[in-house]
Amino acid sequence: MSETQNSTSQKAMDKDNKAASQTMPNTQDKDYEDKLTQVALALVEDVINYAVKIVEEEQNPLKNIKWMTHGEFTVEKGRKQIDEYFSKCVSKKCWAHGVEFIERKDLIHSFLYIYYVHWSLSTAGLPVAQISAGTYFTMKVSKTKPPDAPIGVFYVGDHQALVHR
């Protein structure tokens, strides 16, 4: 075959292939696009769920605290849990705080464990706090409730009458 015939037949084959590719969809490309779409949708869904979780925690960082039960309670565990609670509710890391056990009151049906949390805004530049505050926490451990029941936790700010539960 001569070169001109070969190139002419090649052009004809190219035309046929081009026409066929325009009329028949390429199934491999379609499958790839479908898989790519599925992966992209899953990724977008994960990102949206993660963003919603971050926003919920930012708006209400205290909702996930799980207070200990009557059976788990000790004075030291109570102090640690108040420390954890306070660390979650203070968004600025520059606030220094300390939790101190004050007293245990024996009532008829329960014990009240009273703690005091003192926090202040002190820095290396200003080691003497210019701003400070405090909160009294009361943990109520019932003598009659089962060991797996959660304890009651109440707190009130310095010089406030409103008790938070």
74 touches 102 (CB < 8 A): no
Given a cut of 80, whether residue 23 has pLDDT beyond it is no
Residue 77 CA to residue 79 CA, distance in Å, equals: 5
Given a cut of 60, whether residue 79 has pLDDT beyond it is yes
Average pLDDT, the chain: 78
Of 34-43, 47-56, 138-147, the range with the highest mean pLDDT is 138-147
Split at pLDDT 50, 70, 90, the class of 93 is low
N- to C-terminal Cα distance for the chain? Answer: 96
72 touches 87 (CB < 8 A): no
- φ/ψ region of 159 (left if φ > 0, alpha if ψ in -120 to 50, else beta) reads left
Q: Please state, as a whole number, how many other Cβ atoms lie within 10 Å of the Cβ of residue 151.
A: 21
Q: In terms of residues, how long is the chain?
A: 165
Amino acid at 78: G
Of 44-58, 74-88, 89-103, the range with the highest mean pLDDT is 74-88
**Sheet containing 95-106, strands listed edge to edge, beginning at the edge strand earlier in sequence:** 95-106, 110-121, 132-142, 152-157
